[in-house]
Structure 1
Amino acid sequence: MSNKGEQAEKSAGFQWLGFTARIPFVHTRVCWPELFQGILISAATALALVPLLTGYFGLSFEEAIAMSFIHSFLISASWMIFGEPYASGWLTPALPFVLTLLLSDSFSSATERLQMMTAISLDFAILLAILGVTGLGAKLIKVMPEVLKGAVILGAAVAAFLKVFDLQASDNIFNTHPYSATVAIALSLLLAFSAPMHRMAAKYPMVARLVALGLLPGFILGAIVGAVTGELKFDIQMGFFALPMVDMFNKVSPFVIGWPSLDMFLQGIPLALIGYILFFGDLVTGKEVLAMVEKSREDEKLDFNDSRTHISVAIRNVISALFAPFFPTQGILWTGIHVVIAQRWQQGRKAMNSLYDGISSYYMMGLPFIFFIAPVVTGIKPMMPIALAVTLALTGFACAYVAMSKANNNAERGCMMLSAVCLAVMDPWLGLILAVLLSVFLVDFKAEADET
């Protein structure tokens, strides 16, 4: 290995209790293309929850920004403090399930919703810790029928699409922002999933650069259309925010508002189980993406450790539950960004010295300072509901095609669809039990075993 490579290896970070911490600007360098994209895309996505936090969880706009700041910092802790080689993000497919439960008539107050969020996050953290330390997680996923995994993933798709396209809801994005939402969602879907677009990207560098920008073009064009049509009113303010961390803590922390009841912890178990299935799928996806490009970068050895990943995500969920409860903001993978960074890392040291340089740059070196900058936050503010709709729409599309690939015959397709609807619209326990029963009684697992 070259001296440069040896130096990079020596400055990779420092060990603590089995984890590897990397200090920005000391152990990671700035990659400007990733930094510029991350400032807008990471901020817009991270702030997508602000309308929910202000509308259903009793927070002011500034308090919601403070809560999003904590979520973003904990997400960056994945690579910065715990040494995970993944572009981390929300456990996004679980979000529609959580919103379906929390915004139902079962929870009438912001306090109850926040206590339920705490319960689910702690359930999920305990499950991760147990399955990670014992190694039972991989065994659990291995014995679970593919049709049941597909049903959970397809259920996330159905729940996401219901949230985005329920035109009967007065606050639906297409009722309030028909033109800007249509443009933003359509362009984001086109750049993320269009086979013809990706075929053109392989031929034309300009198209490839456009596709590499991910969600950014959709947000920008949606903002322009919204401004022209009058759907979006921009009131950009100068100066800086003094984020009210203490006020936010007093409104959301179980230390102040009270701990969840035992019933809440029990009610959160099926969502934690669903979250674990999705987490494990993200973990496998993240490793596979890097495995495909790692052979081109023999100069940098990546450290994969599934038990460490389980524990690190569990710790992040505990901290979130205690100080800024909102499951599922603490997952392991932001798939689209992970792919973009991995592809640039594959091009060699001249493009990206270390994978962690690209990850840290996309996450603004782990320091989400833009949350304090009033012009950026107030400029993004009108787009926040659209950002949430785009996130849910892309999640639904991705989950749908992943789930469909797990079905081998008509019986499995029908079982997955019916199970998905049960999971999406029913109480979590009832939906999960029905999904298991449908898988047992409608799918011929013996025939599948004989075929294999």
Structure 2
Amino acid sequence: MNDSNTARTRGGLRWGPFTLRIPFVHARWYWSEGLQGTMVAAATGLALVPVMMGYFGLSFEQAVAASFIHSILISSAVFVFGEPYAPGWITPALPLVLTFVIGGFESPHDRFQAMTALSLDFALIVVLLGITGLGTRFMQWLPPALKGGIILGAAIAALKRVFVDDADKYLLAQPISTTLACAVCLLLAFSLPLQRLRETNKAVGLLAALGLLPGFLLAAVIGPLVGEIDYDIQWGFLLPPVGEVWAIASPWAIGWPDAALMLKCLPLALVAYIILFGDLVTGNEVLRQAADNRPDDPPDINPSRSHLSVGIRNALMAISAPFFPTQGSLWTGVHVIVVQRWKRGGEAMDHLFSGLGSYYVMCLPFMFFLLPMLTGLKPLMGIALSLTLVLTGFACAYVAMAIPRDATERGVVLLTGMALALFEPWQGLLIGVIATLTLVGLNPPLGDAAAAKSGDTS
């Protein structure tokens, strides 16, 4: 790409602390990321359709319409707000939210009101921290050992979800297909021998550039052959009934949650913020570790802006199609895939936002209108979710392990990570804070300036 085109794709329209980027104008199209986003992102985004149908009274078409709204809001993080992360759900909070909402409320009406209350509480917390700048100060203050522990906790929780807690729903339901998809994607994304081989072998380089797609497609082909997948593809187009979702779920139509419900949901919203904070730390660490390879395209990391972006998106979701926690800051697996290619240089990816924009199909989720794609992806939703969680776990683990600077910090990272994965989030965080203060302290090791730098996420 020539210099003028490169400058054009790196531009954008500033509005307040945000940057608006017009698809195909301020972001170049990359077909490898686009194909991955069309298949994997769509299947993962649709993974909540069975939940919305079974527990919230939506039809298949209405559940797809709700996912369509969530997808638009998620992709706006890149195009409307200028966030340098691959956005996604606050995934570790999802089982906590479903337990709270489904177990505590009987009717779909009450469950949607609870989702509205959670989303509004969370939006208020995040926006306040963003406006005051306390979120930025907190992230800058965070000691490396505690930072690594939070990230490792997300890794353990993600892997535990696939291999222990929900193994019967994911891994054991489609064991061969899921194992193949995860193994191939891990090899292509992280294998050091393959990374060396793709420098000399164009075929391997092309395959690796496809990221999550080869493993996902392999599972889609092998699944029917081993009896784990049964396709029922329907033809035609679907116009997502957004108006019907509004009438069933929006507080403008069904009523606003009262103060008692807002207060009841507040503790869980605070727990979700702790998890969001861990995602922001992880996203910044992934970018920081890759940024040295791209001095020509420095990532614009701004925690206050990130807080405002997440808060606004959650507020918009709360008044349109409330389903917490689908509006987070980071899809770790995808973020790592895009950043891994971006850090290889301008020839591989001219601009970080081009890769992110292509993965989110330039903010145009056309797949929600194509009935053959929707019905074809339906049996792959569990595989896509498992793949996301496994890659999230591996990526968080390798980022977390690079942060501690001595043996004591490594021990604190492990202790904090296990506590966050096994106990309530606030309990795990309390254990991590106490372990950091008593075993490491707040000051970096003397004479280790390079290591001290690893604690700076600003």
Greater displacement, 123-132 / 265-274: 123-132
CA–CA separation in structure 2 for the residues paired with 1:6 and 1:440: 46
Contact 1:97 1:156 in 2 (8 A): no
SS at match of 2:171: helix
**1:209 pairs with 2:206:** yes
| Matched residue, 1:378 | 375
CA–CA separation in structure 1 for the residues paired with 2:44 and 2:413: 30
| Matched residue, 2:312 | 315
Q: Which amino acid aligns with 2:210?
A: L
CA drift of 1:415 comes to 3.8
CA drift of 1:411 comes to 4.5
Contact 2:368 2:374 in 1 (8 A): yes
CA drift of 1:361 comes to 3.3
Contact 1:201 1:208 in 2 (8 A): yes
SS at match of 1:67: helix
Greater displacement, 254-263 / 271-280: 254-263
**1:394 pairs with 2:391:** yes
User: How is 1:439-450 mapped onto 2 (pairs within 5 angstroms)?
Assistant: 439-441=436-438, 443-445=439-441, 449-450=445-446
**Gapped regions of structure 1 (runs ≥ 5):** none
Q: Which amino acid aligns with 1:98?
A: L
Structure 1 residues 67, 160: closer, same or farther in 2, change over 3 A? same
| Matched residue, 1:326 | 324
**Please, what TM-score do these two structures have when normalized by structure 1?**
0.83
| Matched residue, 1:339 | 339
Structure 1 residues 434, 233: closer, same or farther in 2, change over 3 A? same
| Matched residue, 2:451 | none
User: How is 1:7-406 mapped onto 2 (pairs within 5 angstroms)?
Assistant: 8=8, 12-25=11-24, 28=27, 30-84=29-83, 86=84, 88-90=86-88, 94-100=90-96, 102-103=98-99, 107=104, 109=106, 117-166=115-164, 171-255=168-252, 256=254, 258-259=256-257, 260-283=261-284, 285-286=286-287, 289=290, 292-295=293-296, 305-324=302-321, 325-331=323-329, 334-339=334-339, 342=342, 346-347=346-347, 356-406=353-403
**What is the root-mean-square deviation in Å for CA atoms of aligned residues?**
3.4
CA drift of 1:171 comes to 3.4
**Please, what TM-score do these two structures have when normalized by structure 2?**
0.82
CA drift of 1:291 comes to 5.8
Structure 1 residues 126-181: Cα deviation after superposition (integer angstroms, max 9, x where no partner): 343333333333321232222222222222122111210127x5733232111111
| Matched residue, 2:413 | 416
**Gapped regions of structure 2 (runs ≥ 5):** 449-458
SS at match of 1:346: coil
CA drift of 1:47 comes to 2.4
Report percent identity of matched pairs. 40
Q: Which amino acid aligns with 1:330?
A: G
Q: Which amino acid aligns with 1:225?
A: I
SS at match of 1:174: coil
Contact 1:232 1:382 in 2 (8 A): yes
CA drift of 1:448 comes to 5.3
Structure 1 residues 166-222: Cα deviation after superposition (integer angstroms, max 9, x where no partner): 27x573323211111111111122222222222222232211111111110111111
CA–CA separation in structure 2 for the residues paired with 1:373 and 1:64: 15
Structure 1 residues 339, 357: closer, same or farther in 2, change over 3 A? closer
Structure 1 residues 419, 4: closer, same or farther in 2, change over 3 A? closer
CA drift of 1:368 comes to 0.5
Structure 1 residues 408, 358: closer, same or farther in 2, change over 3 A? closer
Structure 1 residues 95, 116: closer, same or farther in 2, change over 3 A? farther
Contact 1:100 1:425 in 2 (8 A): no
CA–CA separation in structure 1 for the residues paired with 2:123 and 2:345: 31
CA–CA separation in structure 2 for the residues paired with 1:170 and 1:111: 30
CA–CA separation in structure 2 for the residues paired with 1:317 and 1:238: 34
Alignment size in residue pairs = 438
Structure 1 residues 226-267: Cα deviation after superposition (integer angstroms, max 9, x where no partner): 110111000111001121223333444344265243021133
SS at match of 1:166: helix
Contact 2:135 2:304 in 1 (8 A): no
CA drift of 1:435 comes to 3.1
CA–CA separation in structure 1 for the residues paired with 2:301 and 2:411: 37
CA–CA separation in structure 1 for the residues paired with 2:400 and 2:232: 42
Contact 2:310 2:327 in 1 (8 A): no
CA–CA separation in structure 1 for the residues paired with 2:208 and 2:324: 31
